Amino acid sequence: MATLKPMPVATKISAPFWQALKENQLKIQQCKQCEGWVFFPRNHCSHCLAHELQWQQVSGEGTLYSYTLTRIPTMPEFSDEMPQALAVVELAQGVRINTTLIDVAEQDIKIGMPVKAVFDKVSSDGDTLLRFTSINNAGGVREYINPLNGLERNDKGQVQVPLSNLAALYALADNKYTDWSNVVVVDQDLINAFADLSGDDYWLHTDPERAKTDSPFKTTIAHGSLVQVLQSRLTIALPFEIIGFNNMVNYGSNRLRFPAPVPAGATIYGRSKVKDISVSHKGVQLTLEMNIHVVGNDKPSVINDLVILYR
C-alpha cells in the first residue's frame, strides 16, 4: 500500500541515502581525501572538491539548528500532520539536514536541543522518511500502520471509510485491481439497438456482410461508447464503502480510451482500482480507473478514469 503524499525521488547520486533509510540506517558521504562530511549527496567534496566520496553510516544524533511550525497544510495530503514542525537538524558530523520534528510538544521545542533519528515507514512498500525526535524519546523505527485497520465493515465485508478520515481515504489508492466482474455478451442486436438510440449507424458497427470483406477485423465491432456504458451492467466488488457524505455525483472522466475493439458476439468483463484521491473546495474526488476487457484478452477495450465527487 503506497502513500499519496509527495515522496522524494531518488536520483543516481542520492539512491544510496534512500536505500539506507529503508534498511533503517542513516548514511551520509565522507571525503576520502580530507575526511570532511558531505550532505546533501553530490559527486564532489564540498570542502576540498575532491571526487572521492564514500557512504558511511552515522548515529543520527545531533541538535536542532532551526525550526518553524506550520498550521496550514501546503497540500491537503498533509492535513493529518498539522501542525508540522519543519526543522533543520545539525548532525554530530556537522552537516545539516532538512527534516520534520515529531513526538515533541510545541512548548518543549528549543533551538539547540539534542535530537536523534527516527526511520518513519510511510507505506507497506517500505518507503522510509528520515525524521527526528527529542533525544529523550524512543527513536529507531516507526512502523507503518495501515489506516484502514480497525475500521468497521458492512454486511458485504467492505471496509467502511468515513469521508472525514483522510488518511484512510488516501490508503485506498493502493494500485491494486479488484477481482473480475460478471460477464456481459455484446451481440449484434445490442449493437444495433445502440446504433438506433445514438444515431451512429456506421457500417463498421451495423453491417455484418460488408464488415466481412471491408473491415480490418472481418466482423462488426461494438461502439466504444456502448462498451463504456455497459460498465453499468458490470458488478465490480469494491473492497470499500465511503460513508459520511451528503451527496455523491459522477463528476466525469479524466481519461477515456478505447485501446482494443469488441467484436460482435464477444463476452466482456471488467475490473477497477482506485487511482487517486484528491481534496479541494468542491469536496473529495475519488478517481476510479475502470478497465473493460474482452474475456481472454490482456489488452483492455475501455480505460475510463471515472471521477466521483463526494460532499
pLDDT tens, residue by residue, 121-163: 988 788 899 999 999 998 789 998 888 999 999 999 999 999 9
Count the residues in the chain. Answer: 311
| Cell numbers standing for residue 94 | 556537522
**DSSP calls for 168-182:** HHHHT----------
> Which residue has 522518511 as its cell numbers?
129
Pairwise CA distance, residues 262 & 21, whole Å? 48
Contacts of 24 (CB under 8 A, 6+ apart): 119, 128, 140, 141
Pairwise CA distance, residues 202 & 186, whole Å? 17
Domains in the chain and their CATH numbers? 15-142 (2.40.50.840), 159-310 (3.10.129.10)
Q: Identify the band that residue 4 occupies on the pLDDT scale cut at 50, 70 and 90.
A: low
- Residues 87/112, Cβ–Cβ less than 8 Å: no
Q: Identify the band that residue 175 occupies on the pLDDT scale cut at 50, 70 and 90.
A: confident
Pairwise CA distance, residues 234 & 236, whole Å? 6
Task: Kindly state the average pLDDT of the residues 162-176.
Answer: 87
**Cis status of the peptide bond prior to 40, with omega within 30 of 0:** yes
Per-residue pLDDT of 31-86, as tens digits, reads: 999 999 999 999 999 999 999 999 999 999 999 999 999 998 877 667 778 889 99
Per-residue pLDDT of 176-204, as tens digits, reads: 899 999 999 999 999 999 999 999 999 99
Task: Kindly state the average pLDDT of the residues 259-269.
Answer: 97
- Residue 120 CB: number of other CB atoms within 10 A? 18
- Residues 133/118, Cβ–Cβ less than 8 Å: yes
- Residues 247/308, Cβ–Cβ less than 8 Å: no
- Residues 274/306, Cβ–Cβ less than 8 Å: no
| Cell numbers standing for residue 89 | 537538524
**pTM exceeds 0.75, yes or no:** no
Per-residue pLDDT of 279-297, as tens digits, reads: 888 899 999 999 999 999 9
